[in-house]
Amino acid sequence: MEVRRLGVDDAPLAQAVWADVRNGDTSGDAFAQWLACDERLFVAALDAGRPVGFALGYVLERTDALRRMVLLYEIEVAKAHRRRGVGRRLVEEVKAIARAYGAGKIWCVAEAGNQAARALYTSTGSEEADADFAVFTWHEPSFGDPEREE
């Protein structure tokens, strides 16, 4: 199995990985534009050239520290390839990329009930934070119109 970071020149392959593994829309130039930023990570897992998984992340600058950190935003493995080490290989590649950036930390969020994700992350050396927090999201148009009445 090949696991590697894809760049802007790999946009067609990244689109294929996204479409095959996540069943996501890949129309237009959005993927190439997204991959053009060096602080965005798209790591693909290919088995005999076939997409079987990916990890998506962001390199973040800190205001309170000199070292960067990496947000592992999403990891997905095709159902037929789960529990075969694909997720582990993806996480290990993200760790290698984080080291290359000089990052001091990698972090991610997993749903409390997602036992597979939690097991993957702890088996690859992460520590689960003892945190009790809520996630809040804003959706357009709530942030797009300052005159909007509540």
For tokens 């069943």, the residue is 23
Q: Which residue has the higher pLDDT, 147 or 135?
A: 135
> For residue 134, what pLDDT is reported?
74
What value does the mean pLDDT take over residues 92-104? 95
Q: Is the pLDDT of residue 126 over 80?
A: yes
Residue scoring higher pLDDT (57 or 26)? 57
- Confidence band (pLDDT; 50, 70, 90) for 96? very high
Task: Check pLDDT > 70 for residue 144.
Answer: no
Are the C-beta atoms of residues 103 and 59 closer than 8 Å to each other? Answer: yes
3-state secondary structure the chain: CEEEECCHHHHHHHHHHHHHHHCCCCCCCHHHHHHCCCCEEEEEEEECCEEEEEEEEEEECCCCCCCCEEEEEEEEECHHHCCCCHHHHHHHHHHHHHHHHCCCEEECCCCCCCHHHHHHHHHCCCCCCCCCCCCCCCCCCCCCCCCCCC
Q: Grade residue 66 by pLDDT with cuts at 50, 70 and 90.
A: confident
Residue 133 has pLDDT above 60, yes or no: yes
- 94 pLDDT band, cuts 50/70/90, is very high
Residue 78 has pLDDT above 80, yes or no: yes
Residue 142 clears pLDDT 90, i.e. is over it: no
Q: Is the pLDDT of residue 43 over 80?
A: yes
The HSE-up count of residue 2 (CA atoms within 13 Å, CB side) is: 10
